[in-house]
A and B are shown apart, each in its own frame.
Chain A
Amino acid sequence: MSVAIVGSGLAGFTAYQTLRRGGLEPGEIAVFGTDADPAAVWRQRAAAIRQREMRSESDGHCLPTSFPGLSFRASVRRRSPAPLLASLADRFHPTVEEFLAHVARLRERSGWERSLVPARIGRARAVDGGFELDGHGVFAHVLVAPGHPGLNVPDELRGDPRVVHSYEPHDYAPTVTVVGAGLAAATEWLNALAAGSEVVSVRRREPLRLPLNVPREYFSRRGLAPFHRLGPEERAARLRALLAPSYPPGRQFDEPLERAAAEGRFRVDASVNGSAQVICATGFLRGYASDPLLARLVDEHELVTHDDWIVLDPDGAVPALSDGTRTLALAGAPAQWAHPAADTLAGAKYVAHGFLRRVKACRTR
């Protein structure tokens, strides 16, 4: 076995599908993770914020190709062109149930379980012929997809008994303060209002309204090529701008919020006040230093970093650890240096394609 994926979440799962499409058999791939269900963590988070619809569109799936997308499958299943037509207008968003069913089908038929090694990898170390993974052997090509290192709670709110993170299971008190300005925050505003709560939104800036996590051109070479040409300072600055919280434009958010504001049940405030409950929709811990595996990788191999990010090649590979005979690449949020939306399904696919190219180009595989 020469190829390993560290992490059994959606990014690792997407990479696995890509490798399978590239001709690798399940026996040639080892997937290290603690949960056989690649959607397990994501499912809990989606359930916590009562998410019903994906932000992603038709190609928000784990298959290696954009076609057939989820809109095509929905059209076939519903015997209706409506999903396809909606997709042409970028208005198709699969439901969470549809997405999870897609993951389950794919998991069943792709041999995922045969490749899964139930283990948490705490260390990846470059050795002759590849990378040694915590006593599980040496692999020439390793994709590290560790997922988010943890939930982010602002320092000033740590220890406050009223605080719950949006991605933790919770109900809604009669008065709720939601901290944050991204999709999770917007979803929580609506959830709390629907539960009859009075809602206060606390945020550092006015939220951006974007259909997807980043402007659409960053999902293709059109936006990525200029991004990759930026120097480290400019690229870090661009990343910080691109990763600012946002949620999609649309009446589904605007109308209930306007109605609630008119009724005096929704307002924006500068700081957390006396609400009975504080929901932190503040996303995840950021940066390689928050992830023990990545922090150790950087330390042991003196990898080049910039701010929170490990400096990567455009395809997500770590330059100092990748050459014609071996590859160490990152996927998910740690790969944002290569793809600003690396923590989305499209970003996971992008990195997976690059990883497959490297694996297939290696003569010693």
Chain B
Amino acid sequence: MSYTLRGRVESRLGALVAVVAAALVLTAAEHRWWPVEAVGLMLGVGLALDVVVYDRAFRYQPGWAAVPLGALELGALVGLMHAAGVAAPLWQAVALFAGGWLVAQLLGHAAFPLVRLGYAEDGGELGRYGVAAAAAVGLALAGAGATAYAQLPPVVHLAAGVHQGPLVITRREVLEGRRGAVVRGGIVVRANDVTIKNVIVVGGVNGITVDGPHGTVLDHVTVSGAQLDGIHVRGAAVMIHDCAIDMLGNRYGQGIDISYTMGYGMSMVDGCTIVGGMEGIATHVSMTEIAHNQVSRTSMNAISMTEMSMGTIRQNDVQSALGVGIYCNDRSMCDIDRNTVVGTRPDGSQDPARRGFGILASFQSEADVRDNELEANPVPMGSVTNSLIRR
């Protein structure tokens, strides 16, 4: 087809109507905005390529070109989603794009030519259908954007300086600390969809407690001096990014403890630095992805996935743990991938499971291990009590 520029744009918008509808349905079903954000980016990428590249590069576009151009657009879309921080499940986003691409092909090759006699000779222009499609897509995305904007939680800026806690958050909001904002005595989250960013927490029974509310995001929080856990999560999925937790001197607390969250969705701990404590990151009865963290000087296990938990432990850096570096225990299923575990020490007890394991699977657990670097550990890797390690 030799598209005119208007034909390219109208054909794209005409095909996007169905994708926008699917995205709105998905958004309503999942209570998340990523489908609409993804479709918005899809439209932006497509229109930009239409105007800047395709219209100039292709006087004629053979049918097969839709495949490489689709791949190009998908790559650009995924890159932009990553850059814009659109938190979309990758396979769902790819499926949405692929579905849209397929719809576009079916419409472009079959439906549009059937509906409009002169579709091909008009260079893909759709006449009043094109205008209607543009209006429909524009209105739908604008409406979704307005709704999303109206639903944005209020942003509460925490001024620099020390604020006496415990700070109890009882409404949906973004709590964003200015540089040097400190909460002394801990933060308790009691509302859904709370985001805490750039806040330093000192002391408290737990540094940050999330017990029940969903949709909590902890981004660049720093915790020290907690009496029990640095971050304490029960009955809710959380997203924790780029935190720093100092548990030195705390013999029984966990840096991050995510427990009894099975059934609330996947939690994530990514990019955190944890020093000290009994366990650095511990999960019980949970599904969790633990990635890109640095955990050191723990007194029992550096990273522990236990009590019928499931999840991934990947690309973490574990140093100087006492007893066990990475622990997969109690009928858990662990995917342990590309971690570095260095310098684990035996704890001196008679317990054979405390001999300084780099990775240990215990009590009917299953661990899939790949490409881990295990150095200077008395026992690099092992399994006990009917557990299985698959390499």
Chain A residues within 8 Å of B, Cβ to Cβ:
18, 21, 59, 64-68, 87-90, 215-217, 219-225, 346, 349-350, 353, 356
Contacts and interface: CB of A to CB of B under 8 A. Distances in A.
Given A217-B2, A220-B3, A356 B117 contact: yes
Contacts of A68: 110
Contacts of A21: 117
Given A66-B113, A67-B109, A67-B114, A221 B121 contact: yes
Interface stretch (B56-64, B172-180, B222-230, B239-247): B56-64
A81 to B, nearest CB: 13
Given A67-B109, A350-B121, A356-B117, A220 B4 contact: yes
Contacts of A346: 121
B121 A220 contact: yes
Interface string B59-97: 110111000000000000000000000000000000000
Contacts of A220: 1-4, 7, 120-124
A64 B210 CA distance: 65
Interface of B: 1-4, 7, 59-60, 62-64, 109-110, 113-114, 117-125
A219 B117 CA distance: 14
Contacts of B118: 350, 353
A350 B123 CA distance: 12
Among A68, A217, A222, A346, max chain B CB count under 10 A is at A222
Given A67-B109, A221-B125, A222-B123, A216 B2 contact: yes
Contacts of B113: 65-67
The 10 A-B residue pairs with the shortest CB-CB distance in the complex, in nearest-first order: A88-B63, A220-B2, A216-B60, A67-B113, A221-B123, A217-B2, A220-B123, A222-B2, A66-B113, A88-B64
A88 B62 CA distance: 6
A365 B212 CA distance: 73
20 contacts: A21-B117, A59-B120, A65-B119, A66-B113, A67-B110, A67-B113, A90-B62, A215-B59, A216-B59, A219-B2, A219-B120, A220-B4, A220-B121, A220-B122, A220-B123, A220-B124, A221-B7, A221-B121, A222-B7, A223-B2
Contact of A89 (B64, B109, B110): B64
Contacts of B114: 65, 67
Contacts of A225: 4
B121 A87 contact: no
Contacts of B64: 88-89
Nearest to B67: A88
Contacts of A59: 120
A66 B109 CA distance: 9
B283 to A, nearest CB: 49
A348 B156 CA distance: 68
Given A67-B114, A68-B110, A222 B59 contact: yes
Contacts of A349: 121
Given A220-B124, A222-B2, A222-B59, 19 more contacts: A18-B117, A59-B120, A66-B113, A66-B119, A88-B63, A89-B62, A89-B63, A215-B60, A217-B59, A219-B121, A221-B4, A221-B121, A221-B122, A222-B7, A349-B121, A350-B121, A353-B117, A353-B118, A353-B121
Contacts of A221: 4, 7, 121-123, 125
Contacts of B124: 220
A66 B120 contact: yes
Nearest to B60: A216
Contacts of B122: 220-221
A87 to B, nearest CB: 7
A34 B114 CA distance: 32
Contacts of A87: 63
A148 B11 CA distance: 37
A75 B280 CA distance: 62
Contacts of A356: 117
Most B CB contacts (10 A, CB to CB) among A68, A221, A346 go to: A221
Query: Which of B62, B63, B114, B121 lies at the interface centre, i.e. has the most chain A CB atoms within 10 A of its CB?
Result: B121
A90 B61 CA distance: 10
A311 to B, nearest CB: 21
Contacts of A217: 2, 59-60
